[in-house]
Structures are given as structure tokens and as C-alpha cells.
């Protein structure tokens, strides 16, 4: 049990390190673009830094249907659904078990499944490496220009 707790803490700190490292990296830059587009600008972490979340993904069944902010959902863009984060909020997610990361923009509300904190698009789930598994524990960093 202690080993599992140690590994979980190590994974959490590693994910946090990757979030911090990516912020100081000149190649990781954001600006205000349409959902799923990430380009240049300064990046700062705000809000709940290093929060662990449980995520699922959604794709073909919702593709091209309207999202809560009025945009059409595109499963091939890096977007996500969150219950409270404002639309347009940019986040970086890091998978705790494989350390893969992806950046996306909140453009929908949800998830509506108990025990989940957010739903990501198929594109983000693929980048994070949990399409097959369906659900993953992630590390959430909220980013701001």
C-alpha cells in the first residue's frame, strides 16, 4: 500500500514538473484563437495548479453537434467539457500513468457521468493515450495568456 501511495505521489509530482517546465519553454505558447487552436503568447498558470482529475472522452456520436457555447463539436480539435471553467479557458492535461500531455480549450459543459471531472475530445484522448481505456487520471493545469 505504501509503495502504491509513493508511486502515485511520484506520478503527481512528475506531472506537475512537466506543467511547470512547459510554461517556461518558449515552444509552448498560447493566444486567443478559436477552440482547438493554440499559438503564440505568454503563458502563466492560474487557479487550481496541479489538480488531479478523472476524464473520459467523447467523439463520433457528438461530432458536429452544437456545444454549450454554440460552436459545433469537432472531435479532431483539442477541446474539452468542464462544469465550471469559463468557455475559452486554456488547459494543459498530463496523464498520470504515461506522462503524455495535451493542451485544449473549454468549449462545452459536462461531463454528465458520475465520478468524472471533465470530458475531452477524441483528439485529446488520443494524444493523452487513453482512447482504448476510455477513462484516465489526469493532472490539470489551467493556463492563461
Give the pLDDT band of residue 93 (cuts 50, 70, 90). very high
Among the ranges given (4-18, 44-58, 77-91, 103-117), the one the predictor scored with the smallest mean pLDDT: 4-18
Q: In which band, very low, low, confident or very high, does the pLDDT at 142 lie, cut at 50, 70 and 90?
A: confident
CATH of the domain at 76: 2.40.40.10
Phi and psi dihedrals of 99, rounded to 5?
65, 15
pLDDT over 80 at 8, yes or no:
no
Asked if 41 and 103 count as a contact pair (C-beta separation under 8 A), the reply is: no
* Mean pLDDT, the chain, integer: 77
Average pLDDT over residues 75-92: 95
Provide the domain limits for residue 71. 2-144
Per the structure, how many domains does the chain have?
Answer: 1
Residues 45-66, mean pLDDT to the nearest whole number: 82
Amino acid at each position: 500500500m505504501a509503495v502504491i501511495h509513493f508511486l502515485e505521489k511520484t506520478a503527481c509530482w512528475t506531472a506537475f514538473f512537466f506543467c511547470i517546465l512547459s510554461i517556461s519553454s518558449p515552444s509552448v505558447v498560447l493566444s486567443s484563437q478559436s477552440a482547438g487552436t493554440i499559438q503564440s503568447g505568454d503563458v502563466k498558470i492560474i487557479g487550481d495548479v496541479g489538480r488531479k482529475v478523472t476524464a473520459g472522452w467523447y467523439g463520433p456520436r457528438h461530432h458536429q453537434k452544437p456545444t454549450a457555447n454554440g460552436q459545433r463539436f469537432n472531435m479532431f480539435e483539442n477541446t474539452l467539457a468542464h462544469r465550471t471553467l469559463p468557455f475559452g479557458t486554456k488547459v494543459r492535461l498530463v496523464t498520470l500513468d504515461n506522462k503524455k500531455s495535451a493542451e485544449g480549450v473549454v468549449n462545452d459543459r459536462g461531463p454528465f457521468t458520475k465520478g468524472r471531472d471533465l470530458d475531452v475530445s477524441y483528439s485529446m484522448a488520443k494524444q493523452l493515450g487513453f482512447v482504448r481505456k476510455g477513462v484516465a487520471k489526469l493532472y490539470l493545469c489551467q493556463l492563461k495568456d
